[in-house]
Structure 1
Amino acid sequence: MTLTLPQQDSPATAPLGSLIRRHRLRIGLTQRELADLSTISVRAIRDLEKGKAQRPRTETVRLIADALRLGPRSRTELEAAARGGSRAGDAVRRLSVERAAPPVPLYPQVGREAETGVVVEELGSGAERLVTVVGLSGVGKTRLALEAAARLHDAGLPVLWHSGDGAAADCLGAGEDPLPRLADACARFLGGGGEAGNLLPELADVVEAIGGQGTVLVLDGVDTGSLDFGRLSRLLREFPGLRLLITGERPWNVPGERLFLLSPLEAPAPTAGSTDAAAVRFFLSQLRRVRPDIVPDEQALADVAWICHRLDGHPAALEAAASWLAVCDLSTLRDIVESDPAPLFDHLAGDPHGSRLQERVGRTLAALSDPYRTLVGDLCRAAGGEFLLQDVVRLTGRTLPECGRLIRELLINGVIRSSADSGRSGFRVLCVVRAAADATAAV
């Protein structure tokens, strides 16, 4: 794999720190090892790689070149970079920051203000370097990542974006520039493919070109079970400013991971004050796309609030249900949701993502181990929509700590969500999960 940044082909324009780091990583040396071999201090090596020292002495360049075992061409390039200073590097830096942008979402984000703010603050400040957003398929993980990445980029942080096989195609890609391809290479490296000797020097070029500031790598819709923690550790160690934002259906469960559980949109029980809930606003945005002629009155808003609550505020379920307004009115849609909402989970237009919602939820249930799958079935059959921790204790006969862990695992998988309909801290199984469980039981 060979990826190059624009204007970095000639020796006269290559940043000195980038060259030193590229050659050091190519032969697998740490800064300490390079310092020992060259008899130059670790601090001097570090300052050179960060660009703090732009004009080293000729003898210093010679010692580094000897330690790196450079051939004539690479040695000449290093010497030229040491004489050239940082003017060319500034041009590359500006170009790199402009190009290192996330994809553009197709639609505005509705709700998620608090969740987005937390992710942006944690990654932007560097308080967290590995944030994994998990949740049930269709809950909006990609959309949250797009919004967070856009805000981080607006704040001056370059963003490298990789879309995995499990990512939803609800954005415009970044094209064929080198930086997006570098993000894909990072994903392959973390997945066990590719060699560090090829990737790390290229990533070092990007870090050098953007001035050594923080960089965000987004891995959207990846299988965390296929990622290599040892390789992640090496990336984080070599590039202190690198931060990762991962979306997937399961956490990575590695040291330093900040697990972010993404629940469906807020959809409280229908009351006089629930028409401004995030799920209602999301459904109305979908309604305007399908039926812009409908101006919801008080009764219509009440129907929307009830539908949103019945479908648990799950964005993909709400989008699919709203598509049916092309062939029915709100009151009819409410009647269908009340009697059997399962057919509505297939998008009326045959949208490939909406039409596979039940299939994807079914795969999530099938992947659960027996105790969790059994508990979901028992909860679906139990009377009443909301349940408490104590109800799980009575239902399973297990200890309180065991039941707490059961509930936590179901929350992580996204098959239940928190609920306060009764005024207490309870939970309920999502409607899309109940439909998938019924379909499985009927087979």
Structure 2
Amino acid sequence: MSDLDEPDALAALLRRYRQAAGLSQRQLAESAGLGERTVRDLERGRVARPQRATVDRVADALRLGPADRALLHRSTANRRGEPGGAATGDGPLPRDPDPVPGAPLIPDLLAGVADRTARVPLPADPPDFTGRDAELQELIGHLGSTGTTTVVYGPPGIGKTSVIVRAARVAATLPDGVFFVDLRGTAARATSVRGALAQLLTDLGMDRRRLPGGTAERRACYLERVAGRSAILVLDNALDAEQVLPLLPAGGDWRVLISSRRRLADLAGARRLRLGALSDEDARHLLAEMVNPARLAAESGTTDELIHICGGLPLALRIAGSRLASRPGWTVGGLMDRLRDTRRRLDGLYAGDVEVRAAFTVSYRQLAPAPQAALRRLALLPWPAYNVAALADVLDADPEAATAVHAAIAEAGLLTPTAADGRFRLHDLLVLFGQERAHDEDDAAGREAALERVRTRLLATAVAVTSWFPTNRAPVVRFPFPEPRQVFDSARAALDWFEAERYAVVWAVRRTAEQHRAEEIIAVVEAVRGLADRHHHLAAWHELFRLAVDAAREANSPALEATLRNALGFALKYQARRPEEALPEHEQARRLYAEIGDRPGHAWSTLYTVGALHRSGRLPEALDRARLAATLFAEMGDEGAVVASYAVGDILRDLGRPVEAAEVHRRGLAELPDPAGRNRVRSGMIGYRLGLDLTAAGDLTGAVEVLDRALATFRAEHHPTGIAECLGALSETLALLGSPRAVAVGTEAVRICHEFGDLPRQAQAWYALGLAARAEGRTDDHAQCWEQARALCETTDVEGRRLAEKLAQG
């Protein structure tokens, strides 16, 4: 084969014609009426199918004669799929074979373009390059060490070439400079090792007309010429380690930078740097380099939306910026109108020959069928992150096969690892691409079967979790799902799974509701109530319980509906902090229980209305309702009377009668049956309330003693809500007492409430830390802590309003 048939022949020809004409890329672009980026991409071989009109305009600007013009057009044949072009299809990209030994070589037509071939220069830095300071510093540090090889990898469009070129240019202080080769790993035909060696040998001073014909011979000449030199070698857009290994110098003082969408895991001894998305701040700077900043500032909110949908992907941001820059009459809102519809978003992210969809397509086509199917089906799951178990479910594969598929997709640079071990995500734009491919390549039955496997396994595992967090209520329906994929040997392991998968579990319940599977929803939601009682902020419980209420109504079961309405009201009060919405749910439950003659259910529903009235600030009504509930329980000899008594005590304290409240809570503790056994959590709850009473009554020392005991109880029971409540109250009491423990307890309270997502109690802990700082004379710390408390304080219930009043009073 001739070197003219190399995939980068057009790039090489165009570069040499331009250099022979004495033109810069910008000058050629202006003469041809093209964008400078287009000329730069043509010279780098990044335009997959250059239009004939574009090539003609370049030839006109270069004033090429008929023979040279024909040569330029012939060099585009591979890209257009003309005879002799690259094969199409999935799997690894084709490579060019060596010539048959002994066969005559076709004359090297490139040799006559110019008498002396100039070294291929580094591509120009993008004028809008921004950010990447940490990554550049790391790469420049690598380039300071002899013999280092660094692979910069990441998903399509993340800016790998820009980063390695910038790093090489900054670090280009070695005597023999920088050598650059575009390996075209994402082109229809990647640069062959033979072709890359031809370029490097020419760059090293060898007459192109005297190049050896075979790859092995070129490799031997290359190793001979690199020995004793000191330079940086930049290998851009590598396909795989097999393409790179023969190009690595041996001997001399060389430092190698490689960019690839793949990790090139087979490249032993290489350092690796994964490029992630740009920060929102850097994304805004990039846009501002392309579009008048005043134009962006005039639509700041819409610009933020544009940055969000581009997801920190430089390619998408540059395309959006280019479309705005080339259309001064467009507003940012006008562009967003074209991009908001997720089904058409990828259609709008193009500019000239550059588009996001094409960048993803190349990597997708390089995958084998199983990883392709996995990517398509994962994109159908609207979750923030996935794990290998989900991948196994969408493929109906065993864990070992799923792990291998995961490794293949990760190696292709299409997965973003998350902070959680073993979890990963897909870029939002890649999700849209995957959904397109799923609807084009999978039939509806196949998509539904994959989603059903995921749904049922998720719900089965969620119920397995709940065995570690039982309730005192007997299950009302049989659990109808298959065996879970995972079993748990501890409450901690079960909780960690649920916390990691909570968005997926909510999705599964929603999907179950859409399918009107009432029995399944009720089974799952009833099972998780024990978990919801302890971990108020773990999931959107009120949404799940609302779906369960609807399912119970659909099943025409008043008893189930009443039970689940009480669960919904509980979630609205304590998780969502919306007591006014909780009250009608409990009232409806009371009516349903009364209609079916369920006296215990009616009494408990009456008690649940107390919390809603209390948290809404309707204290007299709450007190009357609490006393009514206590009477109803007493008539039946039910221990619910003790629970009602501590509700009475809470209201008395908030009515300014803490001494009476303390007496009620002491009596409740004395009357509570089995306080060290099955009612241990309730004893902790009453103790916590007694501590609040004593603090309000001014008995700070007694309050600390009681709160410490309650805290120990909740720690022993692994009850996070109780722990957070006790720490918050204890930190404030210690601060009022002037205890040196106040800061340590308050700091722990902030940390734990942050982990649990309990913002109201976190605000209380910041308030307590502020009190402690003020007592110690740390004025600045006091102000900062209270500013944090104000930012987190929610005033939707009586507790939040009370804290807001304290902060206002100072």
TM-score range, shorter chain: 0.5 to 0.7
Alignment of structure 1 residues 46-85 onto 2, 5 Å: none
The answer as to whether partners of 2:418 and 2:424 remain within 8 angstroms in 1 is: yes
Aligned length: 303
Render the CA deviation track for 1:341-374: whole Å, top value 9, x for unaligned. 1122211xx1x2x14x422311211221233222
Change (3 A) 1:312 1:178: closer
**1: distance between equivalents of 2:310 and 2:349?**
10
Specify which of 222, 227, 232 is matched with residue 216 of structure 1. Answer: 232
- Tell me which amino acid in the other structure corresponds to 2:429: V
Matched, 1:433 2:449: no
Alignment of structure 1 residues 149-298 onto 2, 5 Å: 149-154=168-173, 158-165=177-184, 181-182=203-204, 192=215, 194-204=217-227, 207=229, 214-224=230-240, 226-227=242-243, 229=245, 231=246, 235-236=249-250, 238-239=251-252, 241-252=253-264, 253-266=266-279, 276=281, 278-288=282-292, 294-297=295-298
Change (3 A) 1:387 1:223: closer
**1: distance between equivalents of 2:173 and 2:307?**
33
- Tell me which amino acid in the other structure corresponds to 2:268: P
The answer as to whether partners of 1:218 and 1:245 remain within 8 angstroms in 2 is: yes
The answer as to whether partners of 1:261 and 1:412 remain within 8 angstroms in 2 is: no
Question: Deviation at 1:394?
Answer: 5.9
**2: distance between equivalents of 1:320 and 1:337?**
12
The answer as to whether partners of 2:373 and 2:395 remain within 8 angstroms in 1 is: no
Question: Aligned residue for 1:76?
Answer: none
- Tell me which amino acid in the other structure corresponds to 1:124: G
- Tell me which amino acid in the other structure corresponds to 1:105: D
- Larger RCO, structures 1/2 (Cα 8 Å, 6+ apart): 1
Question: Aligned residue for 1:114?
Answer: 134
Question: Deviation at 1:339?
Answer: 1.0
The answer as to whether partners of 1:219 and 1:246 remain within 8 angstroms in 2 is: yes
The answer as to whether partners of 2:179 and 2:200 remain within 8 angstroms in 1 is: no
Specify which of 323, 328, 331 is matched with residue 329 of structure 1. Answer: 331
**2: distance between equivalents of 1:293 and 1:112?**
24
Render the CA deviation track for 1:114-137: whole Å, top value 9, x for unaligned. 1121122123223x6222222333
Alignment partner of 1:125: what SS? Answer: coil
Question: Aligned residue for 2:144?
Answer: 124
Question: Aligned residue for 2:22?
Answer: none
Change (3 A) 1:385 1:183: farther
- Tell me which amino acid in the other structure corresponds to 1:338: R
**2: distance between equivalents of 1:224 and 1:183?**
27
- Structure 2 unmatched runs, 5+: 1-118, 188-198, 442-810
Question: Deviation at 1:149?
Answer: 0.2
Question: Aligned residue for 2:721?
Answer: none
Q: Output the aligned Cα RMSD.
A: 4.0
The answer as to whether partners of 2:237 and 2:259 remain within 8 angstroms in 1 is: yes
Matched, 1:442 2:440: yes
Alignment partner of 1:254: what SS? Answer: coil
The answer as to whether partners of 2:316 and 2:349 remain within 8 angstroms in 1 is: yes
Change (3 A) 1:321 1:109: closer
The answer as to whether partners of 1:101 and 1:150 remain within 8 angstroms in 2 is: no
Change (3 A) 1:308 1:378: same
**2: distance between equivalents of 1:254 and 1:414?**
16
The answer as to whether partners of 1:101 and 1:160 remain within 8 angstroms in 2 is: yes
The answer as to whether partners of 1:109 and 1:147 remain within 8 angstroms in 2 is: no
**1: distance between equivalents of 2:319 and 2:171?**
31
Render the CA deviation track for 1:30-88: whole Å, top value 9, x for unaligned. xxxxxxxxxxxxxxxxxxxxxxxxxxxxxxxxxxxxxxxxxxxxxxxxxxxxxxxxxxx
**2: distance between equivalents of 1:125 and 1:178?**
22
- Tell me which amino acid in the other structure corresponds to 2:413: G
Change (3 A) 1:330 1:122: same
Alignment partner of 2:150: what SS? Answer: strand
- Tell me which amino acid in the other structure corresponds to 2:368: S
Question: Aligned residue for 1:343?
Answer: 347
The answer as to whether partners of 1:217 and 1:245 remain within 8 angstroms in 2 is: yes
When you count helix as a share of all residues, which structure comes out higher?
2
Question: Deviation at 1:265?
Answer: 2.0
Question: Aligned residue for 1:82?
Answer: none
Matched, 1:134 2:156: no
Question: Deviation at 1:257?
Answer: 2.6
Render the CA deviation track for 1:161-196: whole Å, top value 9, x for unaligned. 22333589xxxxxxxx9997229999x99x936434
- Tell me which amino acid in the other structure corresponds to 1:433: L
Question: Deviation at 1:245?
Answer: 1.3
Alignment partner of 1:320: what SS? Answer: helix
- Tell me which amino acid in the other structure corresponds to 1:244: V
Question: Deviation at 1:398?
Answer: 6.1
The answer as to whether partners of 2:128 and 2:290 remain within 8 angstroms in 1 is: no
Change (3 A) 1:419 1:284: farther
Matched, 1:143 2:194: no
- Tell me which amino acid in the other structure corresponds to 1:120: I
Question: Deviation at 1:313?
Answer: 1.3
**1: distance between equivalents of 2:155 and 2:333?**
28
The answer as to whether partners of 2:263 and 2:412 remain within 8 angstroms in 1 is: no
Alignment partner of 2:144: what SS? Answer: helix
- Tell me which amino acid in the other structure corresponds to 1:331: G
Alignment of structure 1 residues 12-31 onto 2, 5 Å: none
Question: Deviation at 1:263?
Answer: 2.6
The answer as to whether partners of 1:101 and 1:153 remain within 8 angstroms in 2 is: no
Question: Deviation at 1:285?
Answer: 2.1
**2: distance between equivalents of 1:293 and 1:304?**
11
Question: Deviation at 1:381?
Answer: 0.9
The answer as to whether partners of 2:174 and 2:231 remain within 8 angstroms in 1 is: no
Change (3 A) 1:322 1:393: same
Question: Deviation at 1:223?
Answer: 3.0
**2: distance between equivalents of 1:391 and 1:332?**
38
The answer as to whether partners of 2:367 and 2:408 remain within 8 angstroms in 1 is: no
**2: distance between equivalents of 1:320 and 1:279?**
12
TM-score, structure 1 as length reference: 0.57
Render the CA deviation track for 1:378-405: whole Å, top value 9, x for unaligned. 2211124444566546655667776566
The answer as to whether partners of 1:167 and 1:220 remain within 8 angstroms in 2 is: no
- Tell me which amino acid in the other structure corresponds to 2:203: R
The answer as to whether partners of 1:263 and 1:414 remain within 8 angstroms in 2 is: no
Change (3 A) 1:143 1:217: same
